Amino acid sequence: MYTFDYARPESLKDVATALRKQGEAKLLAGGQSLVQALRLRLAHPPALVDLQAIPELRGIAVANNVVSVGAMTRHAEVAASREIQRAIPALAKLAAGIGDRQVRNQGTIGGSLANADPGADYPAAVLGLGANIVTNKREIPADKFFLGLFETALKPGELIVRVDFPLPLRAGYAKFRNPASRFALVGVFVCDTTSGVRVAVTGAGPCVFRAKRMEKVLAKDFTPQAVEKIVLPAEGLNTDIHAQADYRAHLVTVMAQRAVEAAAKL
């Protein structure tokens, strides 16, 4: 690690002040991505602004058909939340499948979304459920949030405060894990709502994206068989030592089927 300054503000206002003081400062949430980057000397921010002590960033609330999850909510809290298990069981299940116990006790939804790792799980739920990302400046609909590889719509000085998930009719998530990292090699979140079906794919591309053709057929026939024949073009999908693009394309189809199956069961 390089040396850095450290601040632990106790309100959103103080965060803003800290960020104004040190424009290059980085927000620290669970540290599960950032600390690694620091330790490997891949990142060298002059200052860290730790979000742990800010009450506004915490908590889970269900009201008016919306599940609100504070940015600093740990994966383990989402996984264990009775309210979320009742309202959007697929979301609780997704959180329970992130990393390992230590990571889930430490990592946060805000950190995961801001980081926008191509293999992260949460982005699939956020895009699949059509959530709103509420920041200290504005509300960003999921469709406008993920811009590319580790790239989001967040502006300098902007931080995620919470995520608002509208309640779906039913939803399901299926993840095929990278054998090494256990991030999503391919993860597919399907969500059936009154205004249509949404299918979000993570792991397969530079960032999470929607599989519109699948959405169309599932809107008519919400069964695994409906998507069995729909295979995404491999072009543009990720290729690495674990999976080439054509295999990922195939896995998207299989995971979509399994996500639909899971949605039907939950």
Partner 1 sequence: MSESLLGQSVRRKEDYRFLTGSGTYTDDVTVPGQLYAFFLRSPHAHARIRAIDTAAAKAAPGVVAVYVGTDLQGKVNGLPCGWLITGIDGQPMKEPVHPPLAQGKVRHVGDQVAMIVAESLNQAKDASELIEVDYEVLPACVDPAQARAPGAPLVHDDVPDNTCYVWGLGDKAATDAAFAQAAHVTTLEYINNRLIPNAIEPRAAVAQYHRGDDSYTLHVTSQNPHVERLLMTAFVLGLPEHKVRVIAPDVGGGFGSKIFLYAEETVLTWAAGQIKRPIKWTAERSESFLADAHGRDHVTKAELALDKHGKFLALRVHTTAGLGAYLSTFASSVPTILYATLLAGQYTTPNIYCEVTSVFTHTAPVDAYRGAGRPEATYVVERIVETAAREMKIDPAEIRRRNFITQFPYQTPVALCYDIGNYEGTLSEAMRVADVPGFEVRRKEAEARGKLRGLGYSAYIEACGLAPSNIAGALGARAGLYEAGEVRVHPTGKVTVFTGSHSHGQGHETTFAQVVAQRLGMSVEDIDVVHGDTGRIAFGMGTYGSRSIAVGGAAIVRALDKVVAKGKKIAAHLLEAAEGDIEFENGEFTVAGTDKKVPFAQVALTAYVPHNYPLDKLEPGLNEMAFYDPTNFTFPAGCHICEVEIDRATGETRIVNFTAVDDFGKIINPMIVEGQVHGGLTQGIGQALLEACVYDKESGQLITGSMMDYALPRADDVPNFKVSTQETPCTHNPLGVKGCGEAGAIGAPAAVINAITAALWPLGVRDIPMPATPQTVWRALQTAPKARSGRA
The site for ligand FAD (CB under 6 A) is made up of: 26-34, 51, 71, 98-99, 103, 107-108, 110-112, 114-115, 117, 120-122, 154, 159-160, 182-183
Choose which of 1, 53, 147, 149 interacts with partner 1 (CB under 8 A). Answer: 1
CA 11 to chain centre: 24
Please say which residue, 105 or 223, places its beta carbon nearer to partner 1: 223
239 contributes a contact to partner 1 by CB under 8 A? no
Our CB check for ligand FAD shows the closer of 96 and 234 to be 96
Long-range residue pairs from 175-182, CB within 8 A, at least 24 positions apart, any chain: 175/94, 175/97, 175/121, 175/203, 175/255, 176/203, 176/251, 176/254, 176/255, 178/119, 178/203, 178/242, 178/243, 179/242, 180/242, 181/119, 182/99, 182/100
Instruction: State the binding partner of 101 from ligand FAD, partner 1, none, CB within 5 to 8 A by kind.
Output: none
Examine residue 250 and tell whether it contacts partner 1 (CB under 8 A): yes
- Least separation, in Å, of the C-beta of 257 and ligand FAD? 21
42 near partner 1, judged by CB under 8 A: no
CB of 209 to partner 1, least distance (A): 21
Name which of 72 and 217 has its Cβ closer to ligand FAD.
Answer: 72
The answer to whether residues 201 and 250 touch, using CB atoms and an 8 Å cutoff, is no
Q: Does residue 146 interact with partner 1 by CB under 8 A?
A: no
27 binds, among ligand FAD, partner 1, none (CB under 5 to 8 A by kind): ligand FAD
Residues that bind partner 1 (CB under 8 A): 1-3, 40-41, 176, 179-181, 224, 228, 240-244, 247, 250-251, 253-254, 257-258, 261
